Structure 1
Amino acid sequence: MNISEMIAGTMFMPPEWDREFNHIHSDSRDIQPGDLFVARKGHASHGQEFISAAIDAGAVAVFSENAEMFRCESGNVPVFPVSDLEQQLPVWLQNRYPGFKSLTLYGVTGTNGKSSVTQFIAQLAAASGKRCGVVGTLGNGFFPDFEETKNTTPDICVVYRLLDQFFEAGADSAALEVSSHGLHQGRVAGLIFDVAVLTNITQDHLDYHGDMANYFAAKAALFDKDKAKSAVINIDDEYGARLLNMPDLCDHYLTLSSSKNNKADVLFNKITATKSGMKAELQTPWGAGDVYLPLLGEFNVANLAAAVTTLAVTGENFDDLLAKAETLQPVAGRMALYTKPGGCKAVIDFAHTPEAIRVAINSLAPLSDSISLVFGCGGDRDRTKRTLMASAAALADNVWLTDDNPRNESAEQIFNDVSDSPDASDFTYIHDRAAAITAAIEATPEDGVLLIAGKGHENYQDIMGVKHKYSDEAVLLSLGYQRAGGGYAS
């Protein structure tokens, strides 16, 4: 495509500076020869600082936000000033990557559950013979083959390019995790979602948003009638209930609840743990029925209800969706069970918020009277959350506090913050995460369950700027554990 085609109708391109280009990037590290670089103002820096790097990497032209004037850089590369770049960029991306127009778009936001809901949507769609791409924390692509990603919701240039690639690969839909950062920074600007989903909102990312009001406002933006055609909202969550009072809420929405008292459009209840997973009843506008889920945790029933409702809103058969739920595979790092002859059960979950820890522990309660926990708190993140994490962790019978990703913060300081909670007085403190897991396994009875939480999907620990190769799963495998297949081992 020529630059003039991309910007048609938005700005004038002198013919002498028009040229062909391949892809559009706002990260200079992604530039390949023939690409176009967009120098935007970011959260911590401005793309103008990286124009030379982009040109050295092969950029054929640059559009720079708030640049003073047109100039030509080395190699005859034009740098065009654009005062309203944030408004123009979505239009340009839509011209370059039109595939998104042919996709049914599902946007899922919430503190917890985004990965599960998006991947459940993709798996259920695949079971119906359709192809649904996924964009999210655990990677981008088609389940279960995901390519690693830098962010839950990537940069806007990456989002549009991915959607276009999904369409070219035969997809008819895409499920996107839409983070509060992604919404606040305009990473999904210009997209209109067929269905927007709210799982829940609990304290997280206050280091970025400042307070819960701003955090909620960021997520609520996804449900504006200009951004979503329909919505699925969990009103068991207090912020979900608040969302219903939003003046610009999309015209069509369905509510979810596990409580009959909420008079929700979709009710999921009678939840029980079985030898092979979870069983529940769903009552919906499309009918009622029992659903059997080969996964751990009551929260996964809520995630499934959200996924089923989302697909039913766009025309999928409800009864077929219930039947296909029995084939769902667990999402990486979401209550993944590992077993070892003669050893306790071990469960890895990426829970990193107080509510997620609380839900995970309660979900394991039906499996054993003895629940142990290994968890950590990430460095350079919201410090006010740490005592809340301790209170949630104290629901377990025995707790080991260990390092997560200390990043550039003192690991000892993180321990001190957690220990400020009176609930942390009986915790065992071990910085070495592998050693903490080993100690917890040795101390947990054979009929007990060890929950290993807090560490994310990264295959490293970030300590003072150095990324050390590490994974909780690798530790378990080295101790003789194996990943349980299907639901969970008895």
Structure 2
Amino acid sequence: MKLSSLLQSIEDDLLANEIPDILISGLHFHSRQIKKGYVFVAISGYETDGHQYIQDAIEAGAIAIIGDKDLRGFSIPYIRVKNSRNILPKLAQSFFGTSAKKHTLIGITGTNGKTTTAFMLRHILEEAGIRCSLVGTVANIINGEHLSPSNTTPDPITLHELIQKSEDEVIIIEVSSHGLSQGRVNGIPFDFALFTNLSHDHLDYHGTIYNYFEVKAQLFNQLNHHGEAIISNYCDWSRRLIDRLATNQKNVFSVGYHEADHINLANVNVEFSTDFDLKEEGLHHRVALPLSGLHNAQNASLSFITARRLGLHSDQVITALNSFPGVPGRFETYSHGNGAICVVDYAHTPDGLTHVLQTIKKQGAKRIIHIFGFRGNGDPTKRKEMITISSNFSDKFILTLDDLNGIEASQMVDTLHHLLERHGNGKGSVIEDRTIAIQSTLQETQEGDWIIITGKGPESYKQSFHYPTSSDKETIHYNAAAYGT
């Protein structure tokens, strides 16, 4: 591809008069990803400024630089634009030619349930013979191949490369609030935009819950002309979004408990399984979902209405939901040799934690022992509420380390002790090492106990702990082998 052709997509953003007519073989915004023949897009980041790495990119083989600062004196062409971050999605779309791809594009946003809904919907489509890619938190699945993800919503270069690679009919993309605010999905015309719910999360980044909502709502501005907004109407923010979209004359479909919803969720039983009715135009469909919890009935109802809007027959959808195998790191259960049950779950918000602990409570747990922590540089405003929730539902909880993300371990341990003293209600303790926290709890459990380990789900540890394991799941299995259970 010629550089001049690439830059046609950003003509209004160019501040340069002369564009060299040279062939390019790729582009990237990270200097370490630059290869010979690439264009380096220098972006003023949130932590570092990409313009500082221009010389590194040149030495790596870059043949042109795009940036938004008034710089001169480089050995290769420097092309100035108004805002290099804003034009990156356009450049990626142009280079990979994704605007010409004919996928059905589905974006899912919301605080909780994005991943489960995405996996449910993909399972439904695949069972119906519709090939489906998925881009999200747990995995990127393209043409049936599982690839490791970097973020919930990838950067524009990675995202458009995945779209270009996909030969599947449908692509489901989990769209995070960070991904929206940073423009990672800008320019993508979605056929369907889904909203799961909204609750307290990422307020360290967005400032207020209102700002957080406004960012989530941006996804629905990217629906194509015939696109449909599909809303899971189980919280007040859903109602607000529905009213706004209806006022803006968007095609809106909702599922919830209200008569005005297009499909109603009713007669939910979560005592020992998750059985529920979906009422659709006078018909009652009974679903027997293999997953536990009211929140999963809500996720399933959103998947159901989306599949129906895609044209699938209700019987196809229900059969697929009844056989859904679950999601890695979402309420994964393991039996301990002494009769206890271990649960690994990704829950990392107050709302998510409430759903998981309520579900365990309804399973008839003799005792609930909860192990969790908080990420360094994460949202500190939700920590008090999460400890209060754990104290209310658990018989005992243990605060331990999660990803430090540059914060000193001693500082985070001090924070955990401070939170425990103020909000622990006498039920909690602090064990710094995550693997020791899990190991010591497993040794003390009795038949009928439930141990719930939250926050990381299927993710690997980012730092070393006492035991040679790389995830909560591995730590459980390591202890099982070590103690003959």
Q: TM-score, normalised by structure 2?
A: 0.89
Partner Cα distance (2:481, 2:332) in 1: 12
Contact 1:97 1:164 in 2 (8 A): yes
Aligned to 1:31: 34
* Percent identity of equivalent pairs: 29
Which of 197, 202, 217 does residue 199 from structure 2 map onto?
A: 202
Whether contact under 8 Å (2:469, 2:478) holds in the other structure is no
The 3-state SS of whatever aligns with 1:343 is: coil
Asked if 1:416 corresponds to 2:417, the answer is yes
Shift of 1:227: 6.3
Q: CA deviation at 1:469?
A: 6.0
Give the conservation status (yes or no) of the 8 Å contact 2:344–2:457: no
Q: Tell me the equivalent position of 1:47.
A: 50
Distance 1:223 1:9 in 2: 23
SS at match of 2:107: strand
Match of 1:252 in 2: 251
Partner of 2:229: 231
Q: Which moved more, 1:373-382 or 1:410-419?
A: 410-419
Q: Amino acid of the residue matched to residue 210 of structure 1?
A: G
Task: Work out which of the residue numbers 200, 216, 219 in structure 2 matches 1:219.
Answer: 216
Task: Give the 3-state SS of the residue equivalent to 1:369 in structure 2.
Answer: coil
Q: How far does residue 423 in structure 1 lie from its aligned partner after superposition?
A: 4.3
Aligned to 1:444: 445
After TM superposition, give the deviation of residue 474 of structure 1 in Å: 0.9
Structure 1 stretch 179-188 or stretch 238-247: which is displaced more? Answer: 238-247
SS at the partner of 2:46?
coil
CA contact 2:177–2:212 (8 Å) conserved in 1: yes
AA partner of residue 223 (structure 1): F
Mapped partners of 2:309, 2:343: distance in 1: 33
2:265 corresponds, among 268, 281, 286, to 268
Q: 1:470 to 1:84 in 2, by over 3 A?
A: closer
For 2:287, which of 288, 291, 300 is the aligned residue? 291
CA contact (8 A) 1:7 1:92 kept: yes
Spell out the pairing of 1:78-117 with structure 2 (5 A cutoff).
78-86=77-85, 88-99=87-98, 101-117=101-117
Matched to 2:362, the amino acid is P
The CA deviation at 1:118 is 1.3
CA deviation after TM superposition for structure 1 residue 286, in Å: 9.2
- Provide closer, same or farther for how the CA distance between residues 129 and 365 of structure 1 changes in structure 2, counting only shifts above 3 A: same
- 1:400 is matched with which residue? 398
Instruction: For 1:459-474, list aligned pairs within 5 A.
Output: 459-462=460-463, 470-474=470-474
Is the 2:328–2:457 contact (alpha carbons within 8 Å) kept by the matching residues of 1?
no
Q: Is the 8 A contact 1:138 1:146 kept in 2?
A: no
1:438–1:91 CA distance, 2 compared to 1 (3 A): closer
CA contact (8 A) 1:33 1:57 kept: yes
Question: What's the CA shift string for 1:287-334, capped at 9, x where partnerless?
Answer: 431112222322122112112222222222222111111222211110
Choose 329-338 or 367-376, whichever is displaced more. 367-376
Tell me how far apart the structure 2 counterparts of residues 9 and 187 of structure 1 sit (CA, whole Å). 16
Work out whether residues 89 and 183 of structure 2, in 8 Å CA contact, stay in contact via their aligned partners in 1. no
Q: Structure 1 residues 249 and 187 mapped into 2: Cα distance closer, same or farther (>3 Å)?
A: farther
1:20 and 2:19 are equivalent in the alignment: no
Is 1:323 matched with 2:323? no
- 1:67 maps to 2:69: yes
Q: Which consecutive residues of structure 1, in runs of 5 or more, have no partner in the other structure? A: 483-490
- Provide closer, same or farther for how the CA distance between residues 29 and 9 of structure 1 changes in structure 2, counting only shifts above 3 A: closer
Q: Provide the rounded CA distance (Å) in 1 between the counterparts of 2:462 and 2:90.
A: 39
Question: Residues of 2 paired with 1:42 and 1:463: CA distance?
Answer: 29
| Residue 183 of structure 1: how far off its partner (Å) | 0.6
Higher deviation after alignment, 374-383 or 187-196: 374-383
Tell whether 2:344 aligns with 1:348. Answer: yes
Paired letter, 2:252? Y
The runs of 5 or more residues in structure 2 that have no matched partner are none
**Following TM superposition, by how much is the alpha carbon of 1:349 offset from its aligned partner in structure 2, in angstroms?**
0.1
Distance (whole Å) between structure 2 residues aligned to residue 126 and residue 250 of structure 1? 32
Distance in 1 separating the partners of 2:307 and 2:282: 12
Instruction: Work out whether residues 9 and 94 of structure 2, in 8 Å CA contact, stay in contact via their aligned partners in 1.
Output: no
In 2, Cα distance between the equivalents of 1:122 and 1:369?
Answer: 32
Q: 1:443 to 1:250 in 2, by over 3 A?
A: farther
Task: Give the aligned residue type for 1:333.
Answer: G
CA distance in 2, matches of 1:82, 1:186: 16
Cα displacement (A) at 1:226: 5.3
Contact 2:24 2:38 in 1 (8 A): yes
Which one-letter code corresponds to 2:375 in the other structure? G
Matched residue, 2:306: 310
How many residue pairs end up in the alignment?
469
1:6 aligns with 2:6: yes
CA shift in 2, pair 1:367/1:186, >3 Å: same
Partner of 1:123: 123
Q: Which secondary structure does the structure 2 equivalent of 1:161 belong to?
A: helix
